[in-house]
A and B are shown apart, each in its own frame.
Chain A
Amino acid sequence: LAKTTQPISMDSYEGQEVNITCSHNNIATNDYITWYQQFPSQGPRFIIQGYKTKVTNEVASLFIPADRKSSTLSLPRVSLSDTAVYYCLVGDPLGGGADGLTFGKGTHLIIQP
């Protein structure tokens, strides 16, 4: 199972772009990279997923370099409501077992006015 490493916490200000990087040096060929967001007292919710290059949706962008050993979640023009914990998960969705089910401690993002 690929292990992930991400910063424990980050601070930014409203209107800024925030980039959170996740390291996953032992990512396997069939692994996808998935990011979740968790607000206090709620379960995590899916933000974005990618396999390689760049993926963009209405909430965020995900940048994945060619070697796939890291990924960067980019949140454009953050607001106070983006204050949350962000988790990076790596796993094969068809891999069976606990693949893709393991969360790390995540990155606590705090947005200030």
Chain B
Amino acid sequence: NAGVTQTPKFQVLKTGQSMTLQCAQDMNHEYMSWYRQDPGMGLRLIHYSVGAGITDQGEVPNGYNVSRSTTEDFPLRLLSAAPSQTSVYFCASRRHAVGGTPPGTQYFGPGTRLTVL
């Protein structure tokens, strides 16, 4: 299993440009989440999904869109990038069931480092 994969690893955008951060998992996890991490800060939840076709907002959703058309993929879209969106973005997935690995354990991707000029 590849686990959680994210692309690209690095990205530089100009203010106003749009882009999509890709996230995929091959563990058949129901839950997928997007976080951003700024220097000296913990991880802040942007959006999450409890299954295909279902998404919801986290703590800092403004400026980001998500969709979940398949169990495996959960892309994060920046429609008009702003310098305030310069950050490291992490995608995570977890099961929504009892049993197996400790319940609710999240598995994280390697992150995407985004710079908006």
Q: Determine if A96 is an interface residue (Cβ-Cβ < 8 Å).
A: yes
Tell me the dominant secondary structure on chain A's binding face: loop
Q: Determine if B110 is an interface residue (Cβ-Cβ < 8 Å).
A: yes
Selecting from A10-18, A21-29, A65-73, A101-109, the interface stretch reads A101-109
Whether A46 contacts B45 in the complex (CB less than 8 A), given A98-B56, A101-B58, A103-B35, comes out as no
* Docked complex: B58-99 residues within 8 A CB-CB of A: 58-59, 88, 90, 92, 94-98
Q: Determine if A45 is an interface residue (Cβ-Cβ < 8 Å).
A: yes
Question: A46 and B90: CB pair below 8 A?
Answer: no
User: What number of residue pairs across chains A and B have CB atoms under 8 A from each other?
Assistant: 75
Can you name 17 extra interface pairs (CB under 8 A) apart from A34-B105, A97-B50?
A32-B103, A36-B106, A42-B110, A43-B109, A46-B101, A46-B102, A46-B105, A49-B102, A93-B98, A96-B96, A98-B48, A101-B45, A103-B35, A103-B44, A104-B42, A105-B40, A105-B41
Residues of B within 8 A of A (CB): 4, 31, 33, 35, 40-45, 48, 50, 56, 58-59, 88, 90, 92, 94-98, 101-111
